[in-house]
Structure 1
Amino acid sequence: MALWEPREETATDPTANTIPYAMNMSIPSILLGLGLKCLLNWGMVALQRSHIWRTFIGFFSVSLALADTALTLTLTAIHLQGDCFLLGLHLSRHHVCLLVQIVGEIYSVLQWPVVAVAGVDHYCTVSQRLQPVPIRNRTAICSFLTGLLWNVAFLYVFLLSDFIPVLEDQSPYLLRQCSVFHMPQILQVAMVLFLTVGCALLILHAGCPIHSYRGPQYLSLKDQTIDQSVTQSRRDIVHQALRIFLNTWALFLVFLAVLLLLPAGIPTYLGLNVPWLCFLNSLLIGVVLCAICPASQLAQGLAALPPDSFCNWRLSSTAEHRI
C-alpha cells in the first residue's frame, strides 16, 4: 500500500499550473543532468581522496556520490526499457518521475542538517574541546551520523512531511516529461551566506571593534592593552579568513548571486552535490576560525585545522594584506 496517493497532473486539473517551485523537464535532460552531476561528484571525491575520511562532510560526500550513481543507473535502465521488473516490482517511466521527485525532496530535507552537523564537527576540531578521537572511532562516528541523517530524512519525507508527488496522466510509453520541483533551501543558505559575508565586510571596513562587552567599569592600562591586542588579533583573523575564502570562491559567489536574481531555481535532484558541499566546507571552516579565533595557536601552527582541498587556512598572527 502506498504511503501517499500521487496527484495526477492533467489538463483539466486547476492545480496543475499552481504547484509551487514546479517545472516540466524532459526525462532525457533529467538523466543527462544526473550523469553530469555524478561525474562532478566523483571528480571532487577523487580530488579529496587523501583526507576524505577525516571529516563528516567527507563521509557524506561519498555517500551522496554513491546515492546519485545508484539513482542515475536505476532511472536510466527504467527509461530505456520503458517497462521492467526489479526486485518483484513492476516499474515504468512513471516511476522515473516518482523517484526523481522523492529523492529531490530527501535532498531538500538534508540541506540544513548537513550544514549544522558539519559546522559542529569543524567547531570541535578547531576549538579542541574534545580529546583527539582515534581514526577508527572517528570513522565509526562519521559513518553513524551519515547513516542517521539519510534515514531520518527518508522517514521524514515518507511519514511526516506534506510532500505529494505530481504525475502526469499519460501512458508510460508516451511519457516524455516529468514535473520536478525547485530547491528553495539552497537559496536560503545562499542568502544567509551573503548576509554573513556582507556583515563581515561592513564591520571590517567600518573599523568596529570585535570584542566582548566588559561592563562599565574602568580598565587598568594593562587590561586595556590586552583587550586592544585581542581585538586587533581577532580582526586580523577575520581579515585573513575572508580574504582566503573570497580568493578561492569569488566566481562561485557570483554564480550564486546571479542565481538569486533569476526566476528559475535549481531542481531538487541537482541542488545537493559534492561541489556544493566543498563550498560549504570552506565556508564553515572560515566561520569557525573567525568565531573561535585561536590567534596564538594559529600563529604557532598548533591549532587543528579541518582539511580543505581548496583553501589554505594557515593564518598568521597579523594580517599582511587587507581586503
Structure 2
Amino acid sequence: MNIIQALFDAVSTGAVYALAALGIGLVFGVMRLANFANGELITAAGYALIILWPVSWPLAIVASIAVAVALALAMDAAVFRWIRSQPPATLLIASFGVSILLQRVYDGVFGTNVLSAAVAPGLATSIRIGELRINLITIVSIVLAGVLLVAVRVFLTRTRMGLQVQAASEDFRAARVLGIRAGSVIALTFAISGILAAAIAFVLTAQSGSVGPTFGVQVTLFALIGSTIGGLGRLGGSVAGGFLVGFAVSLFTTFLPAWINDFRIAFVYLLVAIVLVIAPNGIFASRTSKERT
C-alpha cells in the first residue's frame, strides 16, 4: 500500500480517537471520573442516526446530538452526582456499571443484532490523486475533528464558562470556594462530551453503516488508554494520547502481515505498557502532577 495513503488513513483514525479522548479528558479533569460509559453515548447517537437518517438527515443529526447530550446529563443526575466525593476508582467502577446497564437496555430495545442503514452514503465515494485514493468520509472525519478540537479550545480559553471549566479541572474544591457553580460546570462538561460522542457516532456510522449494543465500546476503550498515556487531567495530553493510539491501531492494521494481523490489538497494548513503564504519569503529564505522585 502507498505509504502516504496509509498515513492519511491513520490520521483520520487518530482524529476520531482524539475526539473521544477529549470527551473523556474533559469529564476526568473536572470530576476525576474516567467515564467508560462514554461509549454508550456514542452508541445512543449511532442508533439515532441509523433509525432517522432514512427519514430526514437533518433530523437524524439533531436527534443524535440531543440524545447523546440528554443521556450524558441523565448519567450524571442519576448516578455520578451522588458519588462525586468518592475516589476515582469508585467512580470508574460505577461508570463500568452504567455502561453494562445501558448495553443491556440497548439489547432489550433494539435486539442483539446490529441495525443497518446508509448514513451519509455520498461520503462513501472516493477521489484519486495519482496513486492516492481518498474516501470523502476520511476527509470529513479529519476536518470535523479539527473543527471541534479548535472550537473546544476556543471555548475553554475565550469564554467565561470555559475558563470556569478550566479552573475546576485544575482544582475543583478551590474553584467552588471562589464561587464557581459546581453543578453548572459538571453539567456543561457532560453536555460537551455528549456533543463529541455524537460527532464520533456520525463518522463511525458513515463508515460502517451499522450499530449494535457495543458499538461505542472499542473506541472508548482506546480513548481511555490514549488519555492515560497522554496524561489524564491534561486535555492536550489526552487529545495527543488518543490520536497516537488511533494512529498506531491504523498503522498496525495496515502493515502487520496477515498471519499476525489478528494480534494487532495485543501490539497496541504492548506499546501502551512500554510507554507507561517509561512514563507512569503519561508522556504529557505536567511536572506538578509527577511531584504529587
Please indicate the TM-score interval, normalised by the length of the shorter structure: under 0.3
| Larger helix percent | 2
